[in-house]
Amino acid sequence: MRLFVALDLPFALRQQLALLAGRGIPGARWVPAENYHLTLRFIGEIQAWQAEEIDHALAGLRAPGFALTLAGVGTFSKGGRSTQLWAGVERCPPLDHLRAKIETTLQRAGLPPERRRFAPHVTLARLDNAPEAKLAAFLQGHNLFRADPVPVAHFTLFSSLLGKEQAVYTPEVEYALG
C-alpha cells in the first residue's frame, strides 16, 4: 500500500481554497476539493506489516494541537518548468514541531530519513506546460490570499490509490493531538 501522513482540512477551508481554483490557467489539472490536504510526511509503498508498525508508532506520538492558517500561493518547478501550484502556510512553529516528531517517529519505526526540506503546502493543481504568463498573473492576483485560521486537533494516516484522472485518498487512521 501507498501511504502518507497529512492534515486533512475542514470543509469551510476546502471551500475557501476551491474559490482560488478552476480558472485561468490552461494546462492546469485542478485537484478536486475533497482531495486537498497538507502532507506532513510521504511514506510511499510499504508492506502491510510495516504499515502496522507505523500505525503503532504514530499512535504513541504526543504533540499539542494548534491553529493553522493557509496564506499565499506559489509554484514548484522542475527543470525550469512549473509543475505544481499550491497554497502556502503561515509560519507555524507547532506545525514544524509536529512534522519533526513524525519524522523521528517514522525513522524509529524503520523508515529511511526524508531528505527533502519540509515546504508545507496544499497542492491546488498540477501543471502540464501551463503558460508562465498566466501563472504569473494567477500568483499576482492571489498574492494576498489568507484563509481563516483553523484548529488542528489530529493528524491522519492516508492511503493513496493512484487513478488515471485523480488519486483516491482514504483516511485510514486519525491520531489525536493533545
* Per-residue binding letters, 81-100, with ligand 2AM (x by CB under 6 A): ---x----------------
Please work out the total of residues on this chain that contact ligand 2AM, with binding judged by CB under 6 A: 6
Q: What is the 3-state secondary structure (H, E, C) of the chain?
A: CEEEEEEECCHHHHHHHHCCCCCCCCCEEECCHHHCEEEEEEEEECCHHHHHHHHHHHHCCCCCCEEECEEEEEEEEECCEEEEEEEEECCCHHHHHHHHHHHHHHHHCCCCCCCCCCCCCEEEEEECCCCHHHHHHHHHHCCCCECCCEEECEEEEEEEECCCCCCEEEEEEEEECC
| Of positions 69, 123, 159, 166, contacts ligand 2AM by CB under 6 A | 123
Chosen residue from 4, 118, 145, 175 binding ligand 2AM by CB under 6 A: 4
Minimum Å gap between C-beta 137 and ligand 2AM is: 22
Is residue 118 a contact point for ligand 2AM (CB under 6 A)? no
* 47 vs 62 by CB, closer to ligand 2AM: 47
- From candidates 32, 42, 56, 81, binder to ligand 2AM by CB under 6 A: 42
Binding site for ligand 2AM (CB under 6 A): 4, 39, 42, 84, 123, 160
